[in-house]
Structure formats: structure tokens, C-alpha cells
Amino acid sequence: MKIALILLHADPARGGAERYTLDLAAALQARGHSVSVLASSHAKSGAWRSVTIAARGFTRLGRYRSFLAHLDQHLAGAYGKYDIVHAMLPVRHCTHYHPHAGIMAEAASQRGLLGVLNLRRWYMARVERDMLSSASPPLTLCLSNYVAKGFTRHYPQARWERLFNGVDTKWFDPDRLPSAGPDFRLKLGIPSNAVLALFVGQDFDRKGLGMALDAISDLPSSDAGDVHLVVAGDEKRNPDYRTRVVNAGLQGRVHFVGNLPDTYPAYAASDLLLLPTRHDPCSLVVLEAAAMKLPVLTSDHNGAGEILKSGVTGEVLPVGDSTAWGKYLAEWINRERLRQAKAALGADRGGLDHCFHVDRLLFLYESSS
């Protein structure tokens, strides 16, 4: 098949959706399909064909509208005869719509006036509505039941299928590099016997870093000194959090490591993932952590929490309940409980493999064409 994958920026450092798309491009290409990645910028090359779609303008809305116009021109052109047009964001024409940021209409309704004032978000919601209300709407791929609930609320007549994310379980294998975890701790000066929680995210506010810090601050004094937190993500985008760490008296136990080109050592060094996100359709870091046999504490606004067995492999907690987060973190820093969770996650990790995700996607391509 000739497959076009559409996103704004083909740069895996920007986050989960971008990383997912390029991983998918490589996987589809490896299976013998002809893959073109259509984006306004390309930070990484691969076996796929990189097609630059112009996005000119002085504002984010202007660049998005320019991107749509030039994308339409490309798809209408001689090379634009794709079997599959798979878009990761709202566009005017595609065969498969895969909203990694969630349903735009749902986001706009939740934000109320703030959603209207964000002109690009409002315009994306309008493009999405026109696309899904057209005479030939695309098949929408919902990353989780959490996304599907919002989708059916706004588009009850439109077609959709659940397509849960997957990860490379050969790469995210805790036994692959046994020295990676101890070396990571040594570099940061974290004691080998300390419980280490990991937080990974670019938008610290949305991903819930404040709640994670509060949960650690709320630990009983007898436990608090033995718990450290590694924060992986772009600190420059979130400049106030070092001050919050100092104000909470957590300096020396919270370690900002910036963007990691390879998150494997951080997972290998950690005992659990702490992600109190306010909104995540299906967070890849939760699946990566589970593949690395780390129990996960995440919120009920994260579709990836659907893989967790409550009390066994992690917890799905109310998004804004600071009392609950402190209470459950105190229960999960128990060494025996962490050991039992690791064993349970080891038994389940095969189902997380990216190959099953690609198999399912190809089935949906073929059955909907």
C-alpha cells in the first residue's frame, strides 16, 4: 500500500505523537509498504519518503491554515494518489483520523471561553467537525476508551475503532542493559536503596508535576527521606518548578534531567512512574514504563491507565485529589509491593508490543478501504 502519514512536525523530540508517527513509518516501511511522512518540518530521516508541506504565517493559526491549504494541493497532485491518508490532526481530507491530542470538539467544550480565545484550537475543532460531518468521513482511530467516550458524545453517527498504542518491548526491556539503571543513579547521586519515582512530560502543568511534588511532600517524615523524584522534560518551558521544589523543601531529592534523547536509563533506574496528568488520550510513557516493569500511578484522565490492574500493577486516581495521590504513593513505596508489581507486569508485557498495534492498524486499513 501507498500510505501517507500526516503531522505538523516530524520531530520525535517534541513528544509522544511525533515519536509515534515516525516509529509507525519505520514499522510500515519495514513490512514492505511505501510510506510518505507529510509534515511542515522534518528533524529525522528514515527509509520513508519525507514530504515538506509549507506552513507559512506569523501566527500558529496562520501557519496551520497555510499547512492545510498546501496539504490539499499536495493530495490533489500527481503524487497524491495514496491508498491510505492517515492524519494525526484535523485536516480536510483523509481516510483515517488519529487524534493523538484527543477529540478537538471535546477539548474545546471542556475549556469553554478559553477554548474560544485560543483561535487555533477553535479553528482545529471546526476543521474536525467539518471533516467528520462530511458525506464521506474518515474512520476515526481512538487511542483508548477515554478518547472514544468524548468522540461518541460529539459525533454519535461517525465511524470509529479503538486502536490502543504499543511500544517496542525489545527496546524497553529491563534486562537489555543491566548497568543502565545503577549508572543513571550514580550520575545523579541517588542512593541505590532509595525509592525512585519518575515523571516524564513536556508540559509540566498539564502532566501534573505540581501534584507529583505535593504527593511526595505529603509522605510521612519516616518515608520522605528515602524517596526521590526524577523529572524528565524541557525545564525551560516550565521555569517555575525549581522554585516550587525549594519552597516545598524537596531540594536534593527532586532531580531535573531535561529532555532525554534516550529515556531507557531513567526507566531502568526507577521504581515507579508518577504521572498525575490532567489530560492524556493514551500516554506512551505509561506503556513504556509498564514494559520496563514499573508500576504506574496515573490519573483517570489518561487513557493508558486502562492497561493497569488496580492495586496490582498500579493505580488510576482522581485527577485533582491531592489527598488520594499522597495516600497511594505512601502505599506504593513499599519494597515488597514494588517487587510483586514487577512480577505481575513481567507476565503482562507481551501484550504491549508494537507489532500487535501495527497488525491491528493494517487490518483497519484493509477493512475500511
pLDDT digits (tens, 9 = 90+) for 26-36: 999 999 999 99
Q: Which of 256, 325, 268 is nearest to 292 (CA)?
A: 268
Q: Is the pLDDT of residue 114 over 60?
A: no
Lookup: cell for 93: 481530507
CB-based contacts of 340, cutoff 8 Å, min separation 6:
312
Q: How much of the chain exceeds pLDDT 90, in percent? A: 76
pLDDT at 155: 93
pLDDT for position 79: 62
- Residue 34 C-alpha cell reads as 511505501
The answer to whether residue 352 scores a pLDDT higher than 60 is: yes
Is residue 222 predicted with pLDDT exceeding 70?
A: no
Per-residue confidence (pLDDT) for residue 350, from 0 to 100: 80
Predicted confidence (pLDDT) at residue 77 exceeds the cutoff of 90: no
Q: Report the pLDDT value the prediction gives residue 110, as an integer from 0 to 100.
A: 58
Shortest CA distance to 140 belongs to which of 92, 101, 87?
Answer: 87
Which of the 8 DSSP states describes residue 353?
B
Query: pLDDT digits over 296-343, tens only?
Result: 999 999 999 999 999 999 999 999 888 899 999 999 999 999 999 999
Q: How confident is the model at residue 113 (pLDDT cuts 50, 70, 90)?
A: very low
Tell which residue, 123, 124, 128, 159, has the closest CA to residue 142.
159
